[in-house]
Amino acid sequence: MTSPTAGPTSMKASLPPALLPLTEFSHLEGHCWIARLPEAGEGDSVAAPLSSSLHVLENGRPLGPGHSEHQHIIAEGGGRYSHWGDTLYFSTSDGAAPAHDGRAYHVLVQERLGVGPWSQIARQLAHRTDAPTPAAVYAAAEALLASHYPAAMLGEDLKAFWGETALRETYTRLCGSNQRSFERKFAVLGLLRLTHQVPGDVAECGAYEGATAYFLAQALAQADRRRQILLFDSFEGLSAPDAIDGGYWRPGDLTAAEARARENLRDFATVEFYRGWIPSRFAEVADRRFAFVHIDVDLHAPTRDSLEFFYPRTAPGGVIVCDDYGFTSCPGARVAMDEFFAGRPEPVVHLPTGQGFVIKA
């Protein structure tokens, strides 16, 4: 994939984006939170107290009123905000802490909306005092994407897995408020369930901070399936991409601290760490057998090396997942999977999450 939580492609727009995600917050006082907005244009000032054209959206719904006095934001909250200088002072709709409430916060810079149908929808949303319906917000987001980034699609709304509250909370704790890779974590858990009757351990190639490993370990514990979970990672990020990997990645991207991964996984005695460049540590586990293998190293060579090692050691009925299979940022991983399985009986199933998997024949 890309980063463990980010989308695969960076969008190059000719205009500065009108919709900016808010990702870092600090608490000021009472209900008031602060986000720095160096990219969002001029805010209010003493000389021009109503100059900001910015709207704050919470899960696509406009908060407000804007231009609120700071004492009211602090004391009353309720979505009041103020864009002052290069700083946003804001409150959430219900007093929740924005970094931990599982919601998405954005600012919409009205002067960048330009013209066109989605701009009108976005303007209407930003100016409504009543709450727009979720369907209207979703449609506006679809229109925005279609207008500015046609290759990106939102897919279906109303998918029940977004309501998996406990999993979402775990995800947010491990991965932050960006929910992009939650669907892949959820898919991994479903694929793991397919292997509950298959003998063998679990391996992950590319563990980063251990988020997927956490979900795997937790699910196995809850299902009372005792398996070791073997994690292989350089903890120095990606190795050097080859030409087949395209131009998206650089050596050292996605470097995670091993200590952080160990801390995240400290509750699970079943986890084993194998630090080093793939495949240097594989020989130490050559006599093990596997029921589930998760390959998530983004590049061709370590994906190929992982397949060559783990496929013959995966029991019939076992599952091998390539997290990166369907991402245009990871063309080498897809080639590695397709070439490896071209002469073998297992078809590679391409999931709309971007993952590809096989069930060992």
Ligand X SMILES: C[S@@+](CC[C@H](N)C(=O)[O-])C[C@H]1O[C@@H](n2cnc3c(N)ncnc32)[C@H](O)[C@@H]1O
Residues lying near ligand X in the complex (CB under 6 A)? 1, 4, 204, 206-208, 211-212, 233-235, 237-239, 254, 256, 277-278, 296-299, 302
Q: 196 CB contacts (<8 Å, ≥6 apart)?
A: 223, 225
CB of 253 to ligand X, least distance (A): 8
CB of 311 to ligand X, least distance (A): 18
Q: Which is nearer to ligand X, 60 or 241 (CB)?
A: 241
- Nearest-CA neighbor of 131 among 181, 64, 71, 86? 64
C-alpha angle with apex 215: 213 to 219, nearest 5 degrees?
A: 115
Q: Which is nearer to ligand X, 58 or 298 (CB)?
A: 298
CB of 231 to ligand X, least distance (A): 9
Q: Which is nearer to ligand X, 58 or 209 (CB)?
A: 209
CB of 333 to ligand X, least distance (A): 10
Tell me the residue nearest to ligand X as measured from the CB: 206
Distance CA 154, CA 166 (A): 24
208-222 burial, b for 16+ CB within 10 Å, e for fewer? bbbbbbbbbbbbbee
Q: Which amino acid is at 360?
A: K
CB of 4 to ligand X, least distance (A): 4
Q: Which is nearer to ligand X, 117 or 251 (CB)?
A: 251
CB of 2 to ligand X, least distance (A): 8
Contacts by 113-120, CB closer than 8 A, 24 or more apart: 113/18, 114/15, 114/18, 116/147, 117/143, 117/147, 118/143, 118/144, 118/146, 118/147, 118/148, 119/147
CB of 356 to ligand X, least distance (A): 14
CB of 42 to ligand X, least distance (A): 38
Q: Which is nearer to ligand X, 56 or 213 (CB)?
A: 213
Token pair for 35:
């986000």
Token pair for 266:
């400290």
Q: Which is nearer to ligand X, 53 or 181 (CB)?
A: 181
Burial of 310 (0-12, 13-18, 19+ CB in 10 A): buried
Q: Which is nearer to ligand X, 208 or 290 (CB)?
A: 208
**Helix H or strand E encompassing 70:** helix 70-76
Q: Which is nearer to ligand X, 187 or 207 (CB)?
A: 207
Burial of 237 (0-12, 13-18, 19+ CB in 10 A): middle
- Nearest-CA neighbor of 236 among 275, 267, 265, 197? 275
Q: List the beta bridge partners of residue 58.
A: 61, 105
